[in-house]
Amino acid sequence: MSLLRRIERAQQGAEAQVAEAQVADAAALVPVPAAPRPGRGPARADRADVLSSIKARLEDEVIRAYDTLLDADSSDVNARVEGIIDRLIAVNGFTMTRNERLHLIEDVLAEVTGLGPIEEFLRDDTITEVMVNGPHQVYIERGGRLERTNVVFKSDEHVLRIIDRILAPIGRRIDESSPRVDARLADGSRVNAIIEPLSLVGPVITIRKFSARPFTVDDLVGFGTATAEMFDFLRACVEARLNIFVSGGTGSGKTTTLNVLSSFIPEDQRIITIEDAAELQLHQEHLITLEARPSNLEGEGEITIRDLLRNALHMRPDRIIVGECRSGEALDMIQAMTIGQDGSLSTGHANSPKDMLRRLETMVLMSGYRMPLRSIREQIASAVDLIVHTARLRGGERKIVNITEVYGIEEDDILTQDIFVFKETGLRDGKIQGELQPTGIRPTFMERFKELEVTLAPGEFGIPAEDPDRPGPARMDKRRRVPADLARALDASGRSLGYGRAVKAGGMVYVSSMGPVDPETGLVVSGGIKPQTSQCLKNIKTRLEAEGSSLEKVVWASWSLRDPAEFDEFNEEWVRWFPGDAPVGQGTLMPPLQRRAGFRISIGVIAEA
């Protein structure tokens, strides 16, 4: 029978008699005094206890008589519940003031149709987090500081009822077989719930509140998260389609920052967002929002972020935004960033930009694929352009403290450089003062702004101008995964890096520093030391024949190895090319520019002309 039908019958008196009898029986067990007259009644504390007792009994009766009021329209529910409460108050002879009645109705409505004792915290815009640690401890976060409230639940079952009310509208569940869940409220607030046997203190609810109106740049500037100038710089980075990760600790403002960065994406681009529980609040017109799904009671039907990422690649996205990378989906996100979805965004938990890169390595390994660490780092360095690091400082305020560029790989280490760093300037009212300041380093992607005609502010945010006498590091090409300037980089002889130089003198041909570069593609060959040695010798053979010589006439050679431990593998390939008397040779240390280019070996020879 529907709720409205039952309420109608209650008004006609059918169920009213049952409800009245139940309330009367409960009232008979614990006498409830009337409201005191001025100067004659119990103390205020006693009156509060009385009202609390009345509220508890009325809540129990309403819930027992009407299991849920979710079937009805919200405005209709309010009117009907008021009528039920007034009738129950009259039947039991309760007396209370108008304000006490209004508060009672509000509390009962929150219990029946809202989130019970914590409903008032959700309506308070100054509160950013609500934490229920079992039935007898409720904490809130306000202004970055934790406060314990005097609000309590009646029992574990009371907390579980509120959890069920959160999960029911979105089709999720929590029970002993699945004792933890992530969910969201209608306003986008993020909810995590965990129950026994995982929680030993009773059911635990953690709610990260989100504003009904998404925070804007002006809001974050007002909060002191960063300056307007820094958000202009980040806007330029988003418009230039840089791949960005927002890193930070728990509660540092990662999702809020990601939401603001996402708002910079132009309206004419197709955006696909992927999240465990939908939190992002974008307002672009061409927006697709995907949400992961947990398994059902039979343990089937789970749709993970990895599944959604793979599917998103078939949906013709211009940008892919993953709310947070936690495990193997990092590999799919990195792959997406390197195969055409430039300008993609995501977040991750980390204590610093370098920690974010190390966590990405770990998450890629969690994908289940066995990949060499060098290969993982090459892909990360190729995919990620920028890391925006957020932190919650000692006073509780949240700020962007690093804007860091990822620009290459060398010696198996991912290369980074801070473009802006937060500098403390003092302390005021217990809060740290300061702002992001340029480090004096010019990022390698500045040319990209010009290529895409992205307008920068006068002075380019304090970033130094390009100095032709002091060239900065070369940038990695996002699709080739090798230095983009490889074909243009010059060695000490003025020749293109890896292509060597041939000189005839005294009846001999001298070929210097031939690298493992495929002349057809201009790319460094992959696969390790042996394929690179073979490519070097192919290139030398071609150069010698062009000068009227050949490999058979080589009398002396020099090689530079990136890793001396690979000499035996190099020698195996060397002997295959020179099966008889191999030319005399010696090894040298590989120069830094060749290392950064991805060479494992380079070879020079002297041959008879």
H or E element: which one contains 21?
helix 14-29
Instruction: Return the CATH architecture of domain 119-208.
Output: 2-Layer Sandwich (3.30)
pLDDT tens-digit series, residues 29-75:
334 444 444 444 444 556 667 677 777 666 666 665 555 444 545 56
pLDDT at position 88: 72
Q: How high is the pLDDT of residue 269?
A: 94
Alpha-carbon gap, residue 47 to 189, rounded angstroms: 36
Q: What is the pLDDT of residue 438?
A: 92
Assess whether pLDDT exceeds 90 at residue 170. Answer: no
Q: How many CB atoms lie within 10 A of CB 452?
A: 11
Q: Which residues pair with 303 in a beta bridge?
A: 293
- Residue 76 confidence (pLDDT): 67
* pLDDT number for residue 1: 43
Looking at residue 385, what is its pLDDT?
94
Q: Is the pLDDT of residue 343 over 70?
A: yes
Which pLDDT band, with edges at 50, 70 and 90, does 21 fall under?
A: very low
Query: Who wins on pLDDT, 121 or 91?
Result: 121
Over range 5-26, report the average pLDDT.
42
Average pLDDT on 271-297 reads 87
The overall average pLDDT reported for the chain is 81
Comparing CA positions, the residue from 70, 173, 159 lying closest to residue 117 is: 159
**Over the stretch 542-596, which tens digit does the pLDDT of each residue have?**
999 999 999 999 999 999 998 888 899 999 999 999 987 888 888 888 887 777 6
Closest CA relative to residue 237, chosen from 260, 220, 218: 260
Residue 251 has pLDDT above 90, yes or no: no
Which of 191, 209, 183, 192 is CA-nearest to residue 124? Answer: 209
Q: State which fold the 217-462 domain adopts.
A: Rossmann fold (3.40.50)
Residue whose pair of structure tokens reads 């696909």 in the numeric block: 272
Could you tell me where the beta strands, DSSP code E, fall in 323-394? 345-349, 386-392
pLDDT band at 508; cut points 50, 70, 90: very high
Q: How many CA atoms lie within 13 A of 68 on its CB side?
A: 14
Lowest mean pLDDT among 42-56, 142-156, 229-243, 294-308: 42-56
Give me the mean pLDDT over the 176-204 stretch. 90
**Phi, psi angles (nearest 5°) of residue 198:** -75, -40
Do 387 and 406 form a contact (C-beta atoms < 8 A)? yes
Reading the block at residue 127, the tokens are 């509160």
Residues 6+ apart with CB under 8 A from 422: 399, 400, 401, 402, 434, 435, 436, 437
Q: Which residue has the higher pLDDT, 389 or 190?
A: 389
Average pLDDT over residues 11-19: 42
- Whether residue 24 contacts residue 92, with contact meaning beta carbons closer than 8 Å, is answered with yes
pLDDT at 340 over 50: yes
Q: Using 50, 70 and 90 to split pLDDT, how confident is the model at 82?
A: confident
**Domain residues of the chain, as ranges?**
3-113, 119-208, 217-462, 499-608
The two tokens of residue 455 are: 């307008």
Measured CA distances, 427 to 227, 414, 432 (Å): 18, 35, 5
| Confidence (pLDDT) at 490 | 40
Residues 6 or more apart whose CB falls under 8 angstroms from that of 67 comprise: none
Mean pLDDT, range 189-206, rounded to an integer: 93
Single out the residue of 484, 541, 469, 531 nearest to residue 509, CA to CA: 541
Question: Which of 56-70, 87-101, 497-511 is the most confident on average?
Answer: 497-511
Does residue 133 carry a pLDDT above 90? yes
pLDDT for the residue 478: 47
CATH for 499-608, among 3.30.1330.40, 2.40.50.90, 3.40.50.720, 3.90.1200.10? 3.30.1330.40
Helix, coil or strand: residue 182: strand
* pLDDT for 234: 96
For residues 607 and 509, the answer to whether their CB atoms sit within 8 Å is yes
Q: Running DSSP on this structure, what letter comes out for residue 306?
A: H
Indicate if the pLDDT at residue 485 is higher than 70.
Answer: no
| Chain center to CA of 143 | 23
pLDDT at 75 (0 to 100):
60
In the structure, what pLDDT confidence band is assigned to residue 140 with cuts at 50, 70 and 90? very high
Instruction: Report the 10 Å Cβ neighbour count for 19.
Output: 19
Q: From CA 520, how far away is CA 590, in angstroms rounded? A: 24
pLDDT at 598: 77
Neighbours of 250 (CB within 10 A): 8
| Amino acid (1-letter code) at residue 55 | K
| Cβ neighbours for 221, distance < 8 A, ≥ 6 positions apart | 227, 228, 231
Q: What letter does residue 427 receive in the DSSP assignment?
A: E
